C-alpha cells in the first residue's frame, strides 16, 4: 500500500538509529552546530545494552577513553552508572591495561535518553525509516507513516535492527534485540542505492533470577580497591556497589549440548549470517574446542533495581527447553529460573570496504555508516564510529575537510582503518594486538593524543581543555624534576633495593634512573623523595610509564614517523590503477576497489605487495 508522504522538515544531519553509534553521532553533529534529528524504532531503548551490561574491557577501555578525549559521551555516562570497576591485564605491561566497568543498564539508557533529549539543536523522533533516497542534493528519510524528513547528510547506525531476525532453536521470527521491532524495509532502499549488504549474526545468553542462583558454589570476583573513571572530566572515584561471580561448565553440560546440537540453528543451516569469532556461543565453544574440559563464565548483575543476572559466556541459540537443561547441569544453577531466554540475532550490515576513511559511502555523497552496520561488534566500537561519522557529517555540511585519525593516533583510527582497508569476514572486535603502535596508544595518554583534536574541532569545553593542559604541564615538570634530582647511596635505601632484588647503590643516581628499574616504581621511592609534589593518580601513572619505558617509546615513535611519511604521500581519489604500469593484477583489482587515500593505507591492503608500493612511489614521483 502506498503511503501518502508529507513534508516533515529540513535538517543538516539525520541519524538513523538510537544505539551507541547513533547517540554519539547525533550528539557530535548537534554540538558542532548542525540542526540534527535522530530516529529510533523505540524511544525506550535509546542507549540500550542488549548484550552484556558492561562498558570497556581489553582494548575497548582504550576506545572509551579516546571517545572521551574527543568529546564523546560514553565515558561520562559509564562513570555515573558504574556498579563495579576493574582494571584488566594489570599483570602485563601498561600498553594492554584496560578499564572495564559493570554498568546499571537501565540507568545508563535513561541517562543517554535524557542527554539527547536535552541537547540543543537535536530532535529525537520515534519512527521506523522505511525509505531512503536522494533528490536535488538532499537526502529523504521517509517513515512508515509517510513523514518525509529531508537532510544534507545521513548516518546509518541501525545496529542489529536492520532486517533483524531472532533464532531460538527451531523458532525464528523478525525482531530487533530484546523483543523490539526490527527495521524491515530500509534494507531495500539501501540495496537500490547500490549499498552492498550482507548478513552477520550475534547472540546473547539468558537472564536468570538472582534468587535461583546458589552463590555458595561460585568464585567471587570483586572490584578493584582503587578505582579510576573512564572520563577525564570525572572528579569522583567510581564506587564498587556489587560483586560479580565466576563459574564453569562441566562434562554434563557438554553432553546436553552435543545431544541437541542438531537443533541449534547455527548447525542446522537456519542461520546464514556469520557470527563473531571472538565471542562464540556456548554450543560453538563446545564443538570448536572439543578437548576442553570446561568453559568459564561470569554471573553479573544487570542493575541495582533488578533481580536479573547476566550469564556472560553462555550465549546460545538452542531451544529454550535445552537451554534450561544445560544451565541446570551447573551446580550453582541447578534451580535456575530463566527470566529471558538466550537467542541469536541475524541482521544486515554493509561491506566496510564500501566506506571511505571518513565513514562516508563511496559514490553516495553525504551518506555515512557507523557501528554494527559497518560490520563491527561491541558498544565501544559502535560509539567510536558514531562519533567520527557525526563529526564528519557535520564537517561535510559545513564545507570542511573530514577528520581522519591515523593508526598512530588512536585505536579509533586503527579500528576504522582496519574496516575500510582490510574489511572483515565476521563481526570486527577491537583488540590491543590489532595495533602495531600499542605502546604509544595507551589508555592513560588518550587525553594527550586526542584532546587537542577534540578541542580544535569544537567538542571540548574551555574548562575541559584547561584541565588537560594543567595535567600535561604537571607531568612534564615532574619527569624533568625526577631526571634532575639525584640521590646518593644510603643504608636505608640500599636495604630497600636489596629487599626488592635489585642492585644496591655505590654512587649517586637520579630518581628517574631508579624508577627505570623493573623492581621499583614511583610510589616505592616516595620516602626518599622529600620534594615530591602532590599529583593526581593519572599524572603519576603517566610519569612512571614514560620514564620506565622511555627507550621503547622512542623506538616506536621512530616507526610512527616512518609510517607518517608514507601517509603524507597522497594518492588521487579517482586514479584508475589499470593505468599504473608495473602493478600486479591483484593489486590493480584491490586498489581500484578500495581507493586508498595515501601510500600508507595502500601498503596495508591485503594483496598489495611491497613491490607494488615501490611502483606507486615511482608513479607519484613522476
| Domain-embedded: residue 480 | no
Contacts (Cβ under 8 Å, ≥6 apart) of 366: 134, 139, 152, 153, 154, 360, 393, 396
Q: What is the model's pLDDT at position 34?
A: 98
Q: What pTM was computed for the model?
A: 0.95
| Domain-embedded: residue 469 | no
Rounded to an integer, what distance in angstroms lies between the CA atom of residue 477 and that of residue 551? 19
pLDDT for residue 393 is more than 80? yes
Rounded to an integer, what distance in angstroms lies between the CA atom of residue 152 and that of residue 13? 6
For residues 74 and 168, state if they share a domain.
yes
Long-range contacts made by residues 605-613, C-beta under 8 angstroms, separation at least 24? 605/421, 605/422, 606/422, 609/584, 611/584, 612/583, 612/584, 612/587
For residues 319 and 439, state if they share a domain.
no
Domain boundary residue, one of 412, 441, 457: 457
| Cβ(210)–Cβ(309) below 8 Å | yes
For residues 336 and 352, state if they share a domain.
no
How far apart are the two ends of the chain, measured CA to CA in Å? Answer: 59
Q: Which SS3 state, helix, strand or coil, does residue 349 take?
A: strand
| Domain-embedded: residue 536 | yes
For the chain, what is the domain count?
Answer: 4
Rounded to an integer, what distance in angstroms lies between the CA atom of residue 583 and that of residue 490? 67
What is the chain's mean pLDDT, rounded? Answer: 95
pLDDT for residue 89 is more than 70? yes
Strands 6-16 and 36-40: parallel
For residues 223 and 279, state if they share a domain.
yes
| Domain-embedded: residue 366 | yes
For residues 352 and 436, state if they share a domain.
yes
Largest CA distance in the chain: 90
For residues 68 and 166, state if they share a domain.
yes
CATH number at residue 549: 1.10.10.1800
Domain boundary residue, one of 313, 344, 375: 344
Rounded to an integer, what distance in angstroms lies between the CA atom of residue 394 and that of residue 549? 39
| Cα–Cα distances in angstroms (integers) from residue 593 to residues 226, 354, 422, 437, in the given order | 49, 8, 11, 27
Three-state secondary structure of 113-128: HHHHHHCCCEEEEECC
Q: Which three cell numbers stand for residue 606?
A: 591485503
H-run or E-run covering 563 = helix 550-567
Query: Is the sign of the CA dihedral 509, 513, 518, 522 positive or negative?
Result: positive
Q: What is the model's pLDDT at position 173?
A: 96
> Per residue in 27-65, pLDDT tens?
999 999 999 999 999 999 999 999 999 999 999 999 999
Q: What is the model's pLDDT at position 573?
A: 86
Give the confidence band of 522 by pLDDT, cuts at 50, 70, 90.
very high
Give the confidence band of 273 by pLDDT, cuts at 50, 70, 90.
confident
Cα 424–Cα 429–Cα 431 angle in degrees, nearest 5? 120
| Cβ(152)–Cβ(367) below 8 Å | no
Q: What is the model's pLDDT at position 274?
A: 81
CATH number at residue 287: 2.40.30.260
Q: Which SS3 state, helix, strand or coil, does residue 212 take?
A: helix
Q: What is the model's pLDDT at position 336?
A: 97
For residues 330 and 437, state if they share a domain.
no
For residues 193 and 260, state if they share a domain.
no
Q: What is the model's pLDDT at position 1?
A: 55
Contacts (Cβ under 8 Å, ≥6 apart) of 18: 38, 39, 40, 41, 43, 45, 46, 47, 116, 124
| Domain-embedded: residue 512 | yes
Average pLDDT (12-24) is 98
Rounded to an integer, what distance in angstroms lies between the CA atom of residue 24 and that of residue 159? 13
pLDDT for residue 277 is more than 90? no
Three-state secondary structure of 537-554: HHHHHHHHHHHHCHHHHH
Express as a percent the part of the chain with pLDDT over 90: 92
| Domain-embedded: residue 470 | no
CATH number at residue 78: 3.50.50.60
Which range, of 24-33, 104-113, 397-406, 603-612, averages the lowest pLDDT? 603-612
Which range, of 100-109, 264-273, 522-531, averages the lowest pLDDT? 264-273
Give the confidence band of 480 by pLDDT, cuts at 50, 70, 90.
very high
Average pLDDT (167-182) is 94
Domain boundary residue, one of 457, 474, 508: 457
CATH number at residue 583: 1.10.150.570
Q: Which residue range is the domain that position 250 belongs to?
A: 207-344
| Cβ(217)–Cβ(335) below 8 Å | no
For residues 141 and 23, state if they share a domain.
yes
| Cβ(412)–Cβ(376) below 8 Å | no
> Per residue in 572-584, pLDDT tens?
988 999 999 999 9
For residues 506 and 441, state if they share a domain.
no
Q: Give Cα 569 distance to the centre of its chain.
A: 29
For residues 127 and 224, state if they share a domain.
no
| Domain-embedded: residue 535 | yes
For residues 234 and 309, state if they share a domain.
yes
| Cα–Cα distances in angstroms (integers) from residue 19 to residues 4, 16, 48, 548, in the given order | 29, 9, 6, 40
| Domain-embedded: residue 172 | yes
Amino acid at each position: 500500500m502506498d503511503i501518502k508522504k508529507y513534508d516533515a522538515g529540513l535538517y543538516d544531519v539525520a541519524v538513523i538509529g538510537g544505539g551507541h553509534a547513533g547517540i554519539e553521532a547525533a550528539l557530535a553533529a548537534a554540538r558542532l552546530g548542525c540542526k540534527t534529528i535522530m530516529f529510533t524504532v523505540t524511544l525506550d531503548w535509546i542507549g540500550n545494552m542488549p548484550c552484556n551490561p558492561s562498558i570497556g574491557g581489553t582494548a575497548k577501555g582504550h576506545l572509551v577513553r579516546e571517545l572521551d578525549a574527543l568529546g564523546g559521551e560514553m565515558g561520562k555516562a559509564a562513570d555515573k552508572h558504574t556498579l563495579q570497576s576493574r582494571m584488566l591485564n594489570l599483570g602485563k605491561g601498561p600498553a594492554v591495561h584496560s578499564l572495564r566497568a559493570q554498568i546499571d543498564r537501565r540507568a545508563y539508557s535513561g541517562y543517554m535518553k535524557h542527554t539527547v533529549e536535552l541537547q540543543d539543536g537535536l530532535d529525537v523522533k520515534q519512527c521506523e525509516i522505511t525509505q531512503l533516497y536522494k533528490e536535488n542534493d538532499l537526502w529523504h528519510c521517509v517513515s512508515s507513516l509517510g513523514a518525509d524528513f529531508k537532510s544534507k547528510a545521513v548516518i546509518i547506525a541501525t545496529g542489529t535492527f536492520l532486517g533483524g531476525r531472532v533464532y531460538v532453536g527451531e523458532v525464528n521470527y523478525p525482531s530487533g534485540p530484546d523483543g523490539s521491532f526490527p527495521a524491515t524495509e530500509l534494507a531495500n532502499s539501501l540495496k537500490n542505492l547500490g549499498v552492498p549488504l550482507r548478513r552477520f549474526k550475534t547472540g546473547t545468553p539468558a537472564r536468570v533470577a538472582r534468587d535461583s542462583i546458589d552463590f555458595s558454589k561460585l568464585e567471587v570476583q570483586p572490584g578493584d580497591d582503587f578505582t579510576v573513571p573512564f572520563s577525564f572530566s570525572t572528579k569522583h572515584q567510581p564506587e564498587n556497589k556489587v560483586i560479580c561471580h565466576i563459574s564453569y561448565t562441566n562434562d554434563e553440560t557438554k553432553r546436553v549440548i552435543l545431544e541437541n546440537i542438531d537443533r541449534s540453528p547455527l548447525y542446522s543451516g537456519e542461520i546464514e549470517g556469520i557470527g563473531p569469532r571472538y565471542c562464540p556461543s556456548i554450543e560453538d565453544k563446545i564443538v570448536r574446542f572439543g578437548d576442553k574440559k570446561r568453559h568459564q563464565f561470569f554471573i553479573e548483575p544487570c542493575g541495582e533495581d533488578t533481580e536479573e543476572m547476566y550469564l556472560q559466556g553462555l550465549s546460545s541459540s538452542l531451544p529454550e527447553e535445552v537451554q534450561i537443561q544445560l544451565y541446570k547441569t551447573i551446580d550453582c544453577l541447578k534451580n535456575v529460573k530463566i527470566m529471558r531466554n538466550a537467542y541469536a540475532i541475524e541482521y544486515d550490515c554493509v561491506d566496510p570496504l564500501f566506506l571511505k576513511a571518513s565513514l562516508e559511502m563511496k559514490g553516495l555523497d553525504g551518506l555515512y555508516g557507523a557501528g554494527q552496520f559497518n560490520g563491527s561488534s561491541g558498544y565501544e566500537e559502535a560509539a567510536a564510529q558514531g562519533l567520527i561519522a557525526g563529526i564528519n557529517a557535520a564537517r561535510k555540511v559545513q564545507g570542511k575537510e573530514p577528520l581522519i585519525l591515523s593508526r598512530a593516533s588512536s585505536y579509533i583510527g586503527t579500528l576504522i582503518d582496519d574496516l575500510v582497508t582490510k574489511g572483515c569476514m565476521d563481526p570486527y572486535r577491537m583488540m590491543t594486538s590489532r595495533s602495531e603502535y600499542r605502546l604509544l596508544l595507551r589508555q592513560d595518554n588518550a587525553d594527550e593524543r586526542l584532546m587537542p583534536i577534540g578541542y580544535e574541532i569544537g567538542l571540548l569545553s574551555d574548562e575541559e581543555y584547561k584541565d588537560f593542559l594543567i595535567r600535561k604541564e604537571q607531568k612534564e615538570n615532574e619527569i624533568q624534576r625526577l631526571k634532575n634530582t639525584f640521590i646518593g647511596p644510603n643504608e636505608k635505601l640500599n636495604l630497600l633495593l636489596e629487599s626488592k632484588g635489585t642492585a644496591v647503590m655505590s654512587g649517586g643516581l637520579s630518581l628517574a634512573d631508579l624508577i627505570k628499574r623493573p623492581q621499583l616504581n614511583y610510589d616505592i621511592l616516595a620516602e626518599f623523595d622529600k620534594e615530591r609534589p602532590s599529583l593526581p593518580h593519572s599524572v603519576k601513572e603517566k610519569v612512571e610509564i614514560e620514564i620506565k619505558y622511555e627507550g621503547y617509546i622512542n623506538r616506536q615513535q621512530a616507526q610512527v614517523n616512518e609510517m607518517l611519511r608514507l601517509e603524507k604521500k597522497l594518492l588521487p581519489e579517482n586514479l584508475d590503477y589499470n593505468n599504473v604500469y608495473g602493478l600486479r593484477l591483484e593489486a590493480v583489482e584491490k586498489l581500484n576497489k578500495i581507493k586508498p587515500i595515501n601510500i600508507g593505507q595502500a601498503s596495508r591492503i591485503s594483496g598489495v605487495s611491497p613491490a607494488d608500493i615501490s611502483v606507486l612511489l615511482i608513479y607519484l614521483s613522476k
